[in-house]
Structure 1
Amino acid sequence: MNLANRITLARIFLVPIIMFFLLVNVSLPQISIEQFSITYNQIIAALIFIIAASTDSLDGYIARKRKLVTNLGKLLDPLADKLLVSAVLVSLVEMDKLDAWIAIVIISREFAVTGLRQIALLEGIVMAASKWGKWKTGVQITAIIALLINNFPFAFLNFRFDLLASWVAAVITLYSGFDYFMQNKHVINKTPM
């Protein structure tokens, strides 16, 4: 197994660790400053999430640079991304930090696009990520981090950046999914019914 695939697997293995710190009631202390409060569990989960999310670009870069692109990597990389984002979104819903409909919109789009990619793959077509897909990923990660760290530092300004980022993530996710299907409708039209 090459380095790029090991990095991708590490991202997958970090998912349950993040969920543990978010959902298991471990009595670690919390930090409270005026109207802002955060547990050490959330800080640890946020740091691990940031590390895991940053490996998404790293594994792809290494695979392309060192000519280590494999079929296993092509399968694992999007799977790792979806597992990471979906698990954290579900955890945030469980923690009452995110509306369930936003998580459902984001996760549904991921399943739909993954399905379209699988159909394309069966036809021998490789579908590249679009610019909207890259924006979607960036906005989702930003929203998740803001939610994980209880809207720091915007909580001191009484500005709900985490809520705004969540709504923007939902809108861009919907649009990027629509754009993905429109740009690749030839794949759907080619598939026999």
Structure 2
Amino acid sequence: MTRADPLAVPSASPPPRNLNIANVLTVVRVALVPLVAWLLLLDGGADPVLRLLAFAAFVLAGITDRIDGELARRRNLVTDFGKVADPIADKLLLGTVLVGLSWLGEVPWWITVVILGRELGVTALRFWVIRHGVIPASSGGKLKTVLQLVALGMYLLPLRTWFDGAAEAVARGTAFAVLLAAVVVTVVTGADYVVRAVRLRRSARGGR
């Protein structure tokens, strides 16, 4: 029986391929974006059935966001492509819905501008430091995404069909409160990304 050499260095496992189930789900989420936008804006956003379908497609996209992250971590499928593509897919989905809702007059434009400005800025930061390393999503960033998903999901629902008067006002107020919380977390985490990007760039330069 041959004994294993205790001094032998174990061979490193090969890095995961970009073509894996986690990254495929990320691409599927991107593909769902135009469908959500079409269903939301069709008929001026007034058809309750189309709004429900838009909500269903939006939820499906949100589920893929949850699943692809879990698969990537559990099956060791984390790739640099996934680290970059996953948050970009989230930004495309949420940004498209925000613009659509603002276009319909349901979400104030200033909220859309603040959130999209932060998202575009963070994306630019990621590419600014990408040759020095990848900035993964933080816990605060994940909370921001959850709050945005919940708030926009509530806005997508045909609340006017289900409620009237005070009940509709409460439902709309709740959705707006969650969206405001998302705005606060969005701004705070955006500042955190700036700090992390500057530190990463400085540490990379210091290591030369």
TM (norm. structure 2) is 0.77
Name the structure 2 match of 1:17: 35
Q: How many correspondences in the alignment?
A: 182
Q: Compared with structure 1, are the counterparts of its residues 56 and 153 closer, same or farther at alpha carbon in structure 2 (3 Å cutoff)? A: farther
Partner amino acid, structure 2, of 1:81 = D
Mapped to 2, the partners of 1:59 and 1:153 lie a distance apart of 35
Q: Give the unaligned 5+ runs of structure 1.
A: 31-38
Matched, 1:65 2:74: yes
Name the structure 2 match of 1:120: 129
CA RMSD of aligned residues (A): 2.6
- Taking the TM superposition and a 5 Å limit, the aligned residue runs for 1:101-116 are 101-116=110-125
Q: CA deviation at 1:67?
A: 2.0
Question: 1:122 is paired with a residue of what secondary structure?
Answer: coil
Q: Compared with structure 1, are the counterparts of its residues 27 and 143 closer, same or farther at alpha carbon in structure 2 (3 Å cutoff)? A: closer
Name the structure 1 match of 2:24: 6
Q: Compared with structure 1, are the counterparts of its residues 90 and 191 closer, same or farther at alpha carbon in structure 2 (3 Å cutoff)? A: farther
Mapped to 2, the partners of 1:115 and 1:190 lie a distance apart of 19
Percent identity over the alignment?
Answer: 35
Question: 1:171 is paired with a residue of what secondary structure?
Answer: helix
1:144-170 CA-to-partner distances (Å, cap 9, x unmatched) read 011111557796273211121222211
Q: CA deviation at 1:79?
A: 1.8
Mapped to 1, the partners of 2:125 and 2:202 lie a distance apart of 12
- Taking the TM superposition and a 5 Å limit, the aligned residue runs for 1:1-193 are 1-25=19-43, 39-123=48-132, 125-150=133-158, 156=167, 158-159=169-170, 160-187=173-200, 189=202
Mapped to 1, the partners of 2:178 and 2:186 lie a distance apart of 12
Q: CA deviation at 1:72?
A: 3.1
Structure whose CA Rg is larger: 2
Mapped to 2, the partners of 1:92 and 1:157 lie a distance apart of 17
Name the structure 1 match of 2:15: none
The structure with the largest strand share of the pair is 1
1:38-69 CA-to-partner distances (Å, cap 9, x unmatched) read x1111110111011012112112112222222
8 Å contact kept, 1:119–1:187: no
